[in-house]
């Protein structure tokens, strides 16, 4: 199994799954999040009421990709200071 910083591994390597593909989570600036559970992403100023903090996800080739299912999970913890 490969390990590339800032790239989530796919859920399964079962038959029919894509290979050499991972998923990156991007912050509102388009920068890949550091997946270490401690590193701060881009700062966002919150206003009274509802706030939206946009994130994106993209596939990331880790080698010569093959087609198939390519799903990943990520759990976020948001800390307000």
Task: Give tens-digit pLDDT for 27-75.
Answer: 888 889 888 877 767 777 889 999 988 899 999 999 999 999 998 888 8
Q: How many domains does the chain have?
A: 1
Among candidate residues 16, 26, 20, the one with its CA nearest the CA of residue 55? 26
The structure's pTM equals 0.76
Look at residue 10 and tell me if it is in a domain. Answer: yes
Look at residue 14 and tell me if it is in a domain. Answer: yes
Look at residue 21 and tell me if it is in a domain. Answer: yes
Look at residue 74 and tell me if it is in a domain. Answer: no
SS3 string, 11-80, reads CCCCCCECEEEEEEEECCCCCECCCCCCCCCCCCCCCCCCCCCCCEEEEEEEEEEECCECCCCCCCCCCC
* CA–CA separation, 34 and 26 (whole Å): 9
Q: Residue 19 is part of which domain span?
A: 1-37+51-64
Q: What confidence score (pLDDT) does residue 2 get?
A: 59
Look at residue 59 and tell me if it is in a domain. Answer: yes
Look at residue 20 and tell me if it is in a domain. Answer: yes
At residue 76 the predicted structure's pLDDT band, cuts being 50, 70 and 90, is confident
């Amino acid at each position: 199994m490969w390990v590339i910083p800032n790239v989530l591994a796919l859920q399964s390597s079962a038959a029919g799954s894509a290979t050499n593909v991972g998923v990156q989570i991007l912050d509102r600036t388009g920068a890949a999040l550091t997946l270490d559970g401690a590193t701060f992403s881009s700062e966002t100023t919150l206003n009274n009421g509802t706030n939206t903090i946009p994130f994106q996800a993209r596939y990331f080739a880790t080698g010569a990709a093959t087609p198939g299912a390519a799903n990943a999970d990520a759990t976020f913890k948001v800390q307000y200071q």
